[in-house]
Amino acid sequence: MDVLAIDTSTDAVVAGVAAVHAADGVPEVLAEQRVTDGRRHAEVLTSLIEEGLQAAAVTRGDLDAVVVGCGPGPFTGLRVGMATAAAFGDALGLPVYGVCSLDAIAAQERSVAVAASSLLVVTDARRREIYWATYDKGARTAGPAVGAPGDVVADLTDVPIDVVVGSPAHTDLFDRPVGTASVPTVAGLVTAAHADLRDGAPSAALVPLYLRRPDAVEPKRRRPAGPQHQEVAR
């Protein structure tokens, strides 16, 4: 089974192809393309997908499924990745599976450091906040959530955490060992969607994990002006 994987939940735009073998379900990454530029998701994503397909020697017609990270992440970035994944699935008649992008980072870390049984994943939420989630033996135990770094550090002081992974600008805040995974990868995304891929589940609605309102909001309507009182000269 050849799977297209996409994630635009962080500043890293990720796209690539993995082969999933029925015997063990472990993804074999055939190609992965990545560009770190949080302002150009829409500009680079389609090119990265095409480059990934070419590098993997896989055509669009060879694909069996699409996996996309659904955040948490900024509104614009998530919309680009999820809309592109949905368009590929619709055009090619493929199932599209959405996964939590933090789950993908956790899966990537566990694939290279299985001894890290309890994990904390953090990514940059901007506005001086972070997205976070905790895991134990591969299962998410809290989150995804968003909060100020100091508040998250305080809330998780007594929570057993073997390794912290994710945004390098924030992992050192927790005074725990830091792992290697920093952004969603093709392998992590496909691993996070393992159950759906294995079962051949039908597509479900893609639900973006914004966790807060977008930066751009509609302006409030002005109340109609009241009656104007003017003095009349007599």
* Average pLDDT, integer, range 3-12: 96
Q: What angle do CA 72, 73, 76 make, to 5 degrees?
A: 140
In this prediction, residue 234 has a pLDDT band, given cuts at 50, 70 and 90, of: very low
pLDDT confidence of residue 22: 72
At residue 61, φ and ψ (nearest 5 deg) are -70, -15
Q: Are domains 2-101+187-199 and 102-174 of this chain identical in fold?
A: yes
pTM for the whole structure: 0.89
Q: Which amino acid is at 19?
A: A
Identify which has the larger pLDDT, 23 or 223: 23
Cβ pair 152, 137 in contact under 8 A: no
Euclidean distance between CA atoms 176 and 121, whole angstroms:
12
Matching residue, tokens 């996309």: 68
Task: Please say if the pLDDT value at position 21 is more than 90.
Answer: no
Q: What ranges do the domains of the chain cover?
A: 2-101+187-199, 102-174
Question: What pLDDT is stored for residue 176 in this prediction?
Answer: 95
Architecture per CATH, domain 102-174, reads as 2-Layer Sandwich (3.30)
Asked if residue 218 has pLDDT above 60, the reply is: no
The yes-or-no verdict on residue 213 having pLDDT over 80 is: no
Which CATH code is given to the segment(s) 2-101+187-199? 3.30.420.40
Q: Assess contact for 99 and 67: CB atoms under 8 A.
A: yes
Distance CA 123, CA 7 (A): 13
Q: Name which of 15-24, 58-67, 74-83, 182-191 the model is least confident about.
A: 15-24
